[in-house]
Amino acid sequence: MPSNTLTITDNRTKEKYTIAIEDGAIRATDFRQIKNGQDDAGLMVYDPGLVNTASCRSRITYVDGENAKLEYRGYSVEDLAEHCGFLEAAYLLIYGDLPDEGQLKEWQREISHRTMLHQSTIEFTEGFRHDAHPMSMLVSTLSTLSTVYPEARNVQDPANRLHQMKRIIAKVATIAAISYRHSVGFPYVYPDNDLSYTENFMNMLWKMVEPKFAANPVLARALDALFILHADHEQNCSTNAMRSVGSSQSDPYLATSAAVAALSGPLHGGANEQVIKMLKAIGTADSVPAYLDKVKEGKARLPGFGHRVYRHCDPRAEIMKRIAERVFQVTGRNPKFDLALELEKKVQADGYFAEKRLFPNVDYYSGLIYEAMGFKPEIFTVLFAIPRSVGWLAQWDEMHRDAEQKIMRPRQIYVGEHNREFVPIEKRKAGQGLKA
Ligand code: CMC
């Protein structure tokens, strides 16, 4: 018997099965041969939340949850955040290797020349209410690009895919900036191709009457590093949405829009906005113990804490603490930062939370840095979505290159009723309905 196999005995039938183990995984479809009689369709694997299911093979991002390690294409995220510009890291994620000087220059040119939006898209954004949430505006506006670029539907052509990917990476920042300016009632600012990706984003957000916007270099560098830390994180909820929607061969604008929608939830990217709300609600360090009691009683949660894959710490959160100190030298210290440190200290010293492995994740400190830089909390998750678009697109392209990938179609265990007798409406009794 080869050692890289799994032998299973089905105690219902006493049959034995041998299943291959490859790369530390077994194929779920191998279980279909395990049947309890002729009519049995075969054993399924039940995994709500896909907690222990590998849905693809990937060469993009490696997360080692036990050892708090995160790599993009084999490079440590710490090195990339310290030494690369955002577009340099984006190139790495999309193409697989770091660019040389010529490649980087050309990539920067290709992205900056695609930052403009079609006038019809700008007019579309004008229809949003003044208080529309920027994430909802981003979801909707990204999906309208599908109407502007119908050729994007040809997802089988790698060159066409790459072209659309460049467009999305370029335009997502413009849409985000336009949504922000719309919410504060300022006129839109056109992109400035002389600036780097992050400097231009700041230009589109904050330029007022000055002839040319000059970004603070420390803040622009910090934004590059923050964007790199957010650029990919393997098969998380939004990436799974991107791959799942893309698996039906829908176009990348619609798939990216679905991924943004998935990111917006408070359990995922939306947590960064919730962290600020929580810190505001706690108010001062002496209120921390009372808040933690509420969490223990199940009456509150700790946004920005916990992670599905990391077991001891999120390496991105550690890097963020360092970025925060650099940013505060320019902006002044965010007064909520010390409260955040105090909350973290108390959580880590408490056995209850240690048992649940609660530690700050990427969303815990990012909002505090963004707030110090002058961003409003409603735009925090958009600041996550902009760089994560690169990861989503790299994953989407990889999916289309992978001959093993199929349309995403999970199974279910049906636990409902069968063979109910149809009753005409005049003879029916009111049903119980869903319980609140
Ligand atoms: N506050 C309070 N309790 C928590 C938290 C939290 N932030 N996170 C986990 N727990 C508890 C949870 O209630 C559960 O307790 P019990 O065993 O008594 O039912 C236990 O810890 C295990 O948690 P889980 O919900 O089963 O873990 P999960 O892997 O399904 O969820 C998570 C991971 C990140 C959604 C969760 O930790 C969470 O809700 N965190 C807060 C939201 C957040 O910060 N999200 C950002 C995640 S990182 C960036 C990103 O991907 O967007």
> Does 343 contact ligand 1 (Cβ within 6 A)?
no
Nearest residue (CA) to ligand 1, atom 12: 356
What confidence category does residue 344 fall into, taking pLDDT thresholds of 50, 70 and 90?
Answer: very high
91 token code pair: 């190139």
Helix or strand or coil: residue 185?
Answer: coil
Q: What's the gap in Å between 305 CA and the centre of ligand 1?
A: 7
Binding site membership of 358 for ligand 1 (Cβ less than 6 Å):
yes
Look at residues 361, 379, 358, 359 and name the one whose alpha carbon lies nearest to residue 370: 379
Per-residue pLDDT at 199: 97
The CB of 360 under 6 Å from ligand 1? The reply is no
Ligand 1: distance of its center to the CA of 174 in Å?
32
Centre of ligand 1 to C-alpha 274, Å, is 13
**Fold match between 76-266+377-401 and 271-372?**
no
Burial class of residue 24 in the structure, from the number of CB atoms within 10 Å of its CB (0-12 exposed, 13-18 middle, 19+ buried): exposed
Tokens, residue 259: 């991924």
Q: Look at the domain 271-372 and name its fold.
A: Cytochrome p450-Terp; domain 2 (1.10.230)
Q: Does domain 76-266+377-401 have CATH number 1.10.580.10?
A: yes
Q: Which atom of ligand 1 is nearest to the CA of 364?
A: 44
- Give, for ligand 1, the residue of 272, 361, 382, 383 to mutate: max count of ligand atoms closer than 8 Å to Cβ: 361
Q: Is the pLDDT of residue 243 over 90?
A: yes
CA distance 402 to 56: 9
The predicted-structure confidence for 1-50, as pLDDT tens digits, reads as follows: 788 999 999 999 999 999 999 999 999 999 999 999 999 999 999 999 99
Characterise 95 by phi-psi region: left (phi > 0), alpha (psi -120 to 50), beta (else).
Answer: alpha
Ligand 1 centroid to 306 CA: how many Å? 5
Count CB neighbours of 219 within 10 A.
20
Please indicate whether residue 269, judged by its CB atom, sits closer than 6 Å to ligand 1.
Answer: yes
Categorize the per-residue pLDDT at 184 as very low, low, confident or very high, splitting at 50, 70 and 90.
confident
Please work out whether the CB of residue 20 comes within 6 Å of at least one atom of ligand 1.
no
Q: Collect all residues with Cβ–Cβ distance below 8 Å to 57 and sequence separation of at least 6.
A: 23, 402, 404
Domain locations along the chain: 76-266+377-401, 271-372
Per-residue pLDDT for 103 more than 90? yes
Q: What separation, in Å, do the N-terminal and C-terminal C-alpha atoms of the chain show?
A: 54
Has this prediction a pTM greater than 0.85? yes
Q: Which two tokens stand for residue 249?
A: 């061969």
For residue 368 and ligand 1, the question of a CB distance below 6 A is answered with no
Residue 261 has pLDDT above 80, yes or no: yes
**Contact status, residue 304 vs residue 280, Cβ threshold 8 Å:** no
Q: Say if residues 253 and 164 touch (Cβ distance below 8 Å).
A: yes
Q: Using one digit for the tens of pLDDT, what is the confidence trace for 188-220?
A: 999 999 999 999 999 999 999 999 999 999 999
Percent of the chain with pLDDT over 90: 94
What's the pLDDT score for residue 347? 96
Query: From residue 374, how far is each of 334, 340, 346, 369 by CA, in Å?
Result: 11, 18, 28, 9
Catalytic residues: 268, 307, 363
Radius of gyration from C-alpha coordinates of the chain: 24
